[in-house]
Amino acid sequence: MSDAISALQGRSTAGEVTIREAGLCGMITLRGDLSNAKLRAVCKKITGQVFPEKRKIALGEDRGVAWMSPDEVLVMLPYAEVTDALAQIDAALAGQHYLAENVSDARALIHVEGDFAREIMAKLTPADLHPDSFAAGDFRRSHLGQVAAAFWMVDADRFAVVCFRSVADYVHDLLVASAKAGPVGVF
Amino acid sequence: MLSNALNTAIPNVGTTTFRPPYTPISMAAIAGAARDGVFQPLRKTPMSDWHNANGADNEPVGQWRRPFAYVRAGETVHDAVNREVTNARSNIGLLDASTLGKLIVKGPDAGKFLDMLYTNMMSNLAVGKCRYGLMCSENGFLMDDGVVARISEDTWLCHTTTGGADRIHAWMEDWLQCEWWDWKVYVANVTEQWAQVAVVGPKAKLLLDKLGGMDLTALPFMQWQAGKIGGFDARVFRISFSGELSYEIAVPAGQGRAFWEALIAAGEEFGVMPYGTEALHIMRAEKGFIMIGDETDGTVIPQDLNLHWALSKKKDDYLGKRAHARSFMDNPDRWRLVGLETLDGSVLPDGAYAIADGSNANGQRNTQGRVTSTYHSPTLGRGIAMGLVHRGPDRMGEVITFNTVDDAKTVAARIVDPVFYDKEGAKQNV
Amino acid sequence: MLTLHCPYCGTDADETDLHAGGQAHLKRHGPGSSDDQFEDYMFMRENPKGVHFERWRHVYGCGKWFLAARCTATLEVFGTYPAQTTEPPQDICDKITAKRPGWTWGDFA
Ligand SMILES: [Zn+2]
């Protein structure tokens, strides 16, 4: 296989808050009956994580499962393992109605790291990011500026953002602009 | 103005009826971060940086920026377009087709679902084969087109137009969620998962054979195959929008830039050149292929474009079928697609109207057709155009007159077959 | 700004996360239907000042279509419910009746 590159090849813009593309990340869109035991089991087998509740993400070191919609989860894992994982899903769900597609190359993963990361995000999305409403373990799909994005908190000072590959530049620059404008002091 | 018209003092005119909220806010607050470089998102394909480093003169296609042509030193844009067309027809051209929509439709009811969405049959497409399809709105108007590939027993890949990727994805979800919610079908938009390159021209196969990895001799027209091309994970679709021998090759987006550069490097000995959207448009117009947004404008039905063959008679129902039965749709008395050849070889003005005798109730000159696509064809060395003309296909050979922006000047053009080049379709099978 | 509760993912979604889809509870008329039926389906729409039923999609969120009952004059939202139904659920109708006694909309009341 030819060596793949991520959308921004790990571009990082340092500052009080650093905006850093995380490089290649394996992602699988899995649609199906989320109450199905086999579906839950294969997600656990691939990621080691307990299946997430509605609007939640179950995260490990480099793997996770995020709840995308009532019939869809995003399975995250090391990029090189996607082909194997798809084969495991196909084997586990054979004969059932489901869809599993590799979307690793279709996305970019960007980290927002620093003191006021929460405010940088809150300035760009209509989602309620008050600490009482959004904390580590929560997962949200919304928009950042003018494009679709999904995000979660890795810890108190770090957000992870997934966007489409074609707008990775835009999302990076938008986050940098929001960081440069500084904290607002609301949270 | 109102106070003048009403002959009343300004305070007495009153204000418009405000809806909440009506606290004034500054334009800067409305704009927020949307200024300068992030005023609006510009979408990039995996190859966009290469294009911009190699002379791309871009044009906006939605939020994408696609190369219109790759202009070399000393060339005008027009020179570059002509060179790109000629080279694709005689050697090899490469087109970045990554922006075209790619939707995966999967499930036990996927075939039945696609038979409702497309005007032609998709359920009986064999695994490994491709078929061109049309989609209409419930109003019967043509809304998108593209090539559908059957991936496996329960999975289809639907290519859409660039502008249709999100729109058709949403269209599918709408019908699945709100009308046929008991049908077992899942859809995923994988447009950005793949970088797609059209390798076009009589020497296309030589280049791909040189990269190696797949036996393309065994790949007939309108079929696809998965495997390796030059070490890249590839899906190869043998389809053609130019009339030439052509392979559209999808590789994972992360490998897109490297794949493009590998094609450019290996293709040097065959005279490979990238081409832009204008060359794409000219080549499809030379072949009489329609373009959504040019030949269609939301008021055009497939029958207007002589696409009756794509309207299945076997199916009881598909979106738009009921509308096609309405008296003014099921009617020969419409403006229909023809080719147009100016008598003097000039290029017809885009959007020009064909004038007819007399005038309408508003005193405007009557019209009998209009130009939908018009180009200088470097292949034929003359202007070519397509247009919608009143009962056009029944009037082959007739000369009609088009207006121009210069009131005094008109252009005469002959109604001809819209396929200007390689009518037999021999070139795509070299 | 309009906020609607998405019945699928449970988010109180901001208007900018949503896509409006016009009138709810249309009945599709396909081949074989009369011109009048087709006209109703394609073109005839309620345009009330007051109680209205609409289609909305949580487009930037979970991607699901849902239906909303709200007042076009005051923007008051009576409730939202899943799209997989051909008529408004009773609890939504009861809520509307409590606030707008005697309301009617299309064939519903
Ligand atoms: Zn939702």
Phi-psi map region of B66: left, alpha, beta (phi>0 left; psi -120 to 50 alpha) = beta
DSSP letters, A47-115, are H--PPPPTTBEEE-SS-EEEEEETTEEEEEE-GGGHHHHHHHHHHHHTTS--EEEE-GGGEEEEEEEET
If you measure CA to CA, which chain C residue comes closest to B325? C31
Q: What is the mean pLDDT of residues C37-51?
A: 96
Once rounded to an integer, what is the mean pLDDT over residues A31-40? 98
Cα B102 to ligand 1 centre (Å) = 24
Residues B295 and B411 in one domain: no
Do residues B134 and B177 both lie within one domain? yes
pTM as predicted:
0.95
CA distance B102 to B165: 7
Residue A161 lies in a domain: yes
Q: Which helix (H) or strand (E) holds B134?
A: strand B130-136
> Ligand 1: distance of its center to the CA of C3 in Å?
12
Contacts A–C by Cβ distance under 8 A: 36
Residues of C with Cβ-Cβ distance to A143 under 8 angstroms: 16-17, 60
Interface pTM (ipTM) of the complex?
A: 0.97
Query: What's the CATH code of the domain at B64?
Result: 3.30.1360.120
pLDDT greater than 90 at residue C45 = yes
Specify if B401 maps to a domain: yes
B246 lies in the same domain as B377: no
Could you list the residue range(s) of the whole structural domain that residue A100 is in?
12-180
Average pLDDT over residues A96-108: 98
Domain span at residue B427 reads 332-430
Which subunits count as partners of chain A given 3+ CB pairs below 8 Å?
B, C
B133 CB neighbour count, 10 Å cutoff: 22
**Neighbour tally for B68: CB within 10 Å:** 21
Q: Which of B302, B330, B358 is the last residue of a domain?
A: B330
Residue B1 counted as domain residue: no
Q: Quick check: is A111 in a domain?
A: yes
- CATH number of domain containing B342: 2.40.30.110
B364 shares a domain with B295: no
Q: Is residue B9 part of a domain?
A: no
Matching residue, tokens 């009861």: C94
Question: Ligand 1 centroid to A69 CA: how many Å?
Answer: 7
According to DSSP, residue B395 is labeled G
Task: With respect to residue A93, please indicate whether it lies within any of the assigned structural domains.
Answer: yes
> For residue C15, what is the nearest residue in chain A, using CA coordinates?
A126
Where residue A6 falls among pLDDT bands split at 50, 70, 90?
Answer: very high
Residue A3 within any structural domain of the chain: no
Alpha-carbon distance B351 to nearest alpha carbon in chain C (angstroms): 29
pLDDT of residue B18: 65
Return d(Cα C109, Cα C104) in angstroms, integer.
4
Residue A46 inside a domain? The answer is yes
Q: Tell me how many domains chain A contains.
A: 1
Q: Which residues of B touch A168 (CB under 8 A)?
A: 44
B77 shares a domain with B61: yes
Shared domain for B303 and B364, answered yes or no, is no
Residues B310, B338, single domain; the answer is no
The CA-based dihedral angle spanning residues B152, B156, B157, B160, taken in that order and rounded to the nearest 10 degrees: 160
Q: What share of chain B is helix, strand, coil (3-state, %, to 5)?
A: 30, 30, 40
Mean pLDDT of chain C: 96
Q: What is the Cα–Cα distance from A20 to A112, expressed in whole angstroms?
A: 7
Q: Are C82 and C89 in contact (CB under 8 A)?
A: no
A55 inside domain? yes
Question: Is residue B6 one of the residues assigned to a domain?
Answer: no
Chain B: residue nearest C83 by CA?
B178
Q: Above 70 in pLDDT, residue A1?
A: no
The values of phi and psi at residue B360, to 5°, are: -90, -175
Gap between the Cα atoms of B377 and B382, Å rounded:
6
Are the Cβ atoms of C38 and B316 closer than 8 angstroms? Answer: no
Tell me the C-alpha distance between A75 and A163, whole Å: 15
Better-predicted residue by pLDDT, B14 or B241: B241
Closest among A2, A139, A109, C79 to B213, alpha carbons compared: A2
Q: Is there a contact between A174 and B193 if contact means CB atoms under 8 Å apart?
A: no
Nearest to C11 among A55, A70, A72 (CB): A55
> Looking up tokens 């210069």, which residue turns up?
B406
Domain assignment present for residue B374? The answer is yes
B111 shares its domain with B219: yes
Q: What CA dihedral angle connects A144, A145, A148 and A153, to 10 degrees?
A: 0
Question: Does residue B346 form part of some domain?
Answer: yes
Residues B326 and B342 occupy one common structural domain: no
Q: Render pLDDT for B291-319 as a digit per residue (tens, 0 to 9).
A: 999 999 999 999 999 999 999 999 999 99
For B321, which of C31, C59, C65 is closest by C-beta distance?
C31
- Ligand 1 center to C12 CA (angstroms): 8
* CATH assignment at residue A39: 3.30.1360.120
DSSP letters of B169-229?
HHHHHHHHHHT-TTS--EEEE-GGGEEEEEEESTTHHHHHHHH-SS-GGG--TTBEEEEEE
Residues B298 and B382 in one domain: no
Q: Give the pLDDT of residue A44.
A: 98
What's the alpha-carbon Rg for chain B, to the nearest Å? Answer: 24
B347 with B325, same domain?
no
In a domain, B20, yes or no: no
Asked if the structure places residue A4 within a domain, the reply is no
pLDDT band, very low/low/confident/very high, at B76 (cuts 50, 70, 90): very high
Give chain A positions within 8 Å (CB) of C10. Answer: 54-55
Query: Quick one: pLDDT at residue B8?
Result: 86
pLDDT digits (tens, 9 = 90+) for A131-149: 999 999 999 999 999 999 9
Same domain flag for B326 and B338: no
Whether residue B110 is contained in a domain is answered as yes
